[in-house]
């Protein structure tokens, strides 16, 4: 649990992740969402909705140590431009940010802020969405091919470094999906249940849309670079949470 906490947040100390940490991802994700939801409920009592939503967005960035936002920027810079595969991977390793990354990060943060400002504080909704995103990260790290042949930080969880161009060694998507333990499917169902305690049908629909959003990012990365990286996991998590929030605030 401490390894999962250390990997997903600035808390937990400096620990090298192991495969056993993955099973704690859903728990840590749910806890993070509930903490943010509780923060949202508290600040909404002192500030108007727009300001309260902005505080929650900043609190989320602090709670993740900007790790996922950095992954979103690097992923957008690597996957969106027209580049050869190896160049995409090289761009994603560079510490600077390009126009694709900055623009994507700004759009995602604005959408998250607007969605949060559109409804009353909903800790259970955030708990469900954040649980889903971390469950999906763990499932992906367990079953999907890693894009870099030399490996990376995510391979410490046991992901296979099966890099290659789309259609190459990492191309059997169905076989990869079959390697994902049923535990993470159960965790996703639990996330939907947590959100359902907030609202039906908005909560379960939001979690379902978040799952589709996560899968879309992973599919896109697999097409472009032959698998996932740590940056892609962070980007997929942020996209999943953001589209889930947008689905939750739709006019049901």
Instruction: Name the domain count of the chain.
Output: 1
Judged on CB neighbours under 10 Å (0-12, 13-18, 19+), 180 is: middle
Task: List the domain range (segments joined by +) for residue 24.
Answer: 2-248
Give the residue from 112, 148, 132 showing the smallest Cα distance to 221: 148
pTM: 0.89
What tens digit of pLDDT does each residue of 76-116 get?
Answer: 999 999 999 999 999 999 989 999 999 999 999 999 999 99
> Is cis: bond before 201, omega within 30 of 0?
yes
Gap between the Cα atoms of 187 and 132, Å rounded: 7
| Token pair of 82 as six digits | 């027209």
Q: What's the pLDDT at 81?
A: 94
Contact at 8 Å (CB) between 8 and 29? yes
Confidence of residue 178 (pLDDT cuts 50, 70, 90): low
Per-residue model confidence as pLDDT tens digits over 215-240: 999 999 999 999 999 999 999 999 99
Rounded to an integer, the average pLDDT of 184-201 is 94
pLDDT averaged over the chain? 88
Task: Please state the rounded mean pLDDT for residues 113-132.
Answer: 97
Contact 89, 225 (CB under 8 A): yes
At residue 194, the pLDDT reads: 95
Q: What are phi and psi of 78, to 5 degrees?
A: -85, -35
């Amino acid at each position: 649990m401490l390894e999962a906490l250390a990997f997903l947040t600035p808390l937990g100390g400096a620990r090298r992740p192991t495969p056993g940490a993955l099973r704690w991802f859903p728990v840590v994700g749910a806890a993070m969402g509930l903490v943010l939801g509780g923060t949202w409920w508290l600040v909404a009592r002192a500030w108007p909705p727009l300001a309260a939503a902005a505080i929650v967005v900043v609190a989320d960035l602090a709670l993740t140590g900007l790790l996922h936002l950095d992954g979103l920027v690097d992923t957008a810079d690597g996957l969106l431009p027209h580049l050869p595969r190896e160049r995409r991977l090289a761009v994603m390793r560079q510490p600077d940010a390009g126009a694709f990354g900055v623009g994507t990060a700004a759009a995602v943060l604005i959408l998250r802020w607007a969605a949060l400002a559109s409804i009353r504080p909903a800790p259970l909704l955030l708990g469900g969405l954040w649980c889903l995103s971390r469950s999906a990260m763990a499932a992906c790290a367990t079953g999907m091919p890693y894009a870099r042949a030399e490996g990376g930080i995510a391979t410490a969880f046991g992901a296979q470094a099966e890099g290659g161009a789309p259609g190459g060694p990492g191309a059997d998507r169905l076989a990869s999906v079959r390697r994902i333990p049923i535990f993470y499917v159960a965790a996703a169902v639990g996330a939907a249940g947590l959100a359902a305690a907030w609202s039906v049908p908005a909560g379960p629909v939001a979690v379902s849309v978040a799952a589709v959003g996560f899968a879309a990012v992973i599919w896109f990365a697999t097409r472009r670079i032959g698998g996932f990286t740590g940056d892609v996991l962070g980007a997929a998590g942020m996209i999943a949470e953001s589209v889930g929030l947008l689905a939750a605030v739709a006019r049901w």
